[in-house]
Structure 1
Amino acid sequence: MNAIITGATKGMGRAIAFKLAEAGYNIIFCARNKQEIDTLCNDLMALNPSVSVQGLVSDCSDSLQVERFSGFVQQHFATVDVLINNVGVFIPASVLDEEEGNFQKQLQINYLTAYHLCRVFGRKMRDNRKGHIINICSVAAITPVVAAGSYSVTKAALLSLTKVLRQELMAHRVKVTAIHPGSTLTSSWEGTTIPPERFIAAADVADAVLCCLKMSVGANPDELLITPSEGNI
């Protein structure tokens, strides 16, 4: 089984990579830092020597690098069974007062990267009549966060894409899922004094991904909402 993960060297992406490698998936992933890519490749292959793992330095804010990454995957994977669109950026700001370029950056990373990869590999899954696309969305896709307006808009767009693809690919036996994490303890919360137990753990999201992948052929988990037990922060 072959899986793609975007933004896999940190946070939820890293946790997902470990979970899939442990489950026997071959993985190709992208991230921006070469040293972190090499470290993750070594760690995953040490965890499960039977899988192949490759990473490509890619900045998903650059559409040309996203295209290069999709080409890299096609060179090394004859088929793709799982596509995890995880990469994202959170820039808190109001829509009216944010700096120029904030929306465009979040649109490219949070939505257009997934859009491109879904088109490339969704067509292949359609032809093969199998596969699973999982888009890591956000609770902000459901309930907008006023203090992060553009982020909310881009995650809502990703959710809408997920719903459209679910309908397009349903007849071709390809599954499409949106996972909506709430406040998750990742590097974006570095330095916080909030107790860890108030957050979702990145491993919880990884467990949710594997749970979706383990469901029977007849089941499609359309959306999965995960929030902290005491509410979002």
Structure 2
Amino acid sequence: MIDFGQLRGRTIAITGASKGIGKATAVFLDQLGANLVLGARNENGLKSVASQMHSNPLVMSLDVTDESSVRRFAGQAISTYGKVDVLINCAGIGVFQPTLTMDTDDFDRMVSVNLRGTFLCCKHFGQHMVQNHGGRIINLVSIAGTTALSGCGGYSASKFGVLGLTRVLQMELRGKGVQVTAVLPGAVHTPLWDLVEPKPDTSQMIPVESLAKHIVYLLCQPEGAVIDEITIMPPLGIL
């Protein structure tokens, strides 16, 4: 039986928390009594999320591509709560176009946000966790990080990179008390699809609230084993 009570009072930082997976995960963790540190570029979106919560989360503007912004985010979280127990990297963007006609700026943005952003957050929160001899990092990857999908050249390149980074971090931090987990979902019903044409059938995708619960379940696993990587799929497959 899952003991959600162990999350009460734990400090959890979430990037990309203004919408999608980050928002849904934050809402669920708020119900479980966690201390939340929420970051995203969309400050109004963050304030809207915070207004729906029972607690009083620490809300900060965050650009994961900017190391000084990430450093401030981590520093404020640590100074406010003393330590951060968990980092959940949800910030990400996707532009889906044939690789040969994709705008180079779009490619660069996906690599910068998805890969560089994950690296910077892992770096600054990971240093703190190593000093405290304990912590959890969950990186949202994607099934596109292991599977070649047409129209996902830039997105897959960035997500394959995130998975490689996560696996190296697992090796480097395992003996230092820090557990790093890669979450690879298939298609999730999030605002990521709003700008995609033609519109996909979102009714068959993973509900974002369902994925958020899977993420939280990972934080409540019994001791004695760790989950390095988990793939979570819609009932009918990738989509």
TM-score w.r.t. structure 2 length?
0.88
1:23 aligns with 2:32: yes
Quick one: structure 1 residues 184 and 77, their matched pair in 2 at CA, closer, same or farther if it must change by over 3 Å?
Answer: same
Instruction: Give 1:213's match in structure 2, choosing from 208, 216, 219.
Output: 219
CA contact (8 A) 1:41 1:53 kept: yes
CA contact (8 A) 1:80 1:131 kept: yes
CA contact (8 A) 1:31 1:37 kept: yes
Aligned partner of residue 214 in structure 1, secondary structure: coil
Which residue of 1 is the match for residue 4 of structure 2?
Answer: none
Rounded to whole Å, the distance in 2 between the matches of 1:128 and 1:70 is 14
Quick one: structure 1 residues 195 and 35, their matched pair in 2 at CA, closer, same or farther if it must change by over 3 Å?
Answer: closer
Aligned partner of residue 88 in structure 2, secondary structure: strand
Which residue of 2 is the match for residue 194 of structure 1?
Answer: 201
Instruction: Give 1:170's match in structure 2, choosing from 148, 171, 174.
Output: 174
Aligned partner of residue 201 in structure 2, secondary structure: coil
Give the superposition deviation at 1:195.
5.5
Which residue of 2 is the match for residue 97 of structure 1?
Answer: 101
CA contact (8 A) 1:62 1:108 kept: no
Instruction: Give 1:71's match in structure 2, choosing from 47, 58, 75.
Output: 75
- 1:95-133 CA distances to partner (integer Å, 9 max, x unpaired)? 332112122211111011110111111122112121110
1:2 aligns with 2:11: yes
Counterpart residue identity of residue 111, structure 2 = L
Aligned partner of residue 19 in structure 1, secondary structure: helix
Instruction: Give 1:118's match in structure 2, choosing from 111, 122, 141.
Output: 122
5+ residue gaps, structure 2: 1-9
Quick one: structure 1 residues 37 and 75, their matched pair in 2 at CA, closer, same or farther if it must change by over 3 Å?
Answer: same
Counterpart residue identity of residue 194, structure 1 = D
Give the superposition deviation at 1:182.
0.7
Give the 5 Å matches for 1:115-194: 115-190=119-194, 192=199, 194=201
5+ residue gaps, structure 1: none
Which residue of 2 is the match for residue 86 of structure 1?
Answer: 90
Counterpart residue identity of residue 143, structure 2 = V
Rounded to whole Å, the distance in 1 between the matches of 2:121 and 2:63 is 14
Give the superposition deviation at 1:68.
3.3
Give the superposition deviation at 1:64.
4.0
Rounded to whole Å, the distance in 2 between the matches of 1:56 and 1:64 is 13
Rounded to whole Å, the distance in 2 between the matches of 1:193 and 1:93 is 14
Counterpart residue identity of residue 207, structure 1 = K
CA contact (8 A) 2:114 2:159 kept: yes
Rounded to whole Å, the distance in 2 between the matches of 1:174 and 1:207 is 22
Give the superposition deviation at 1:194.
2.2
Aligned partner of residue 99 in structure 2, secondary structure: coil
Give the superposition deviation at 1:62.
4.1
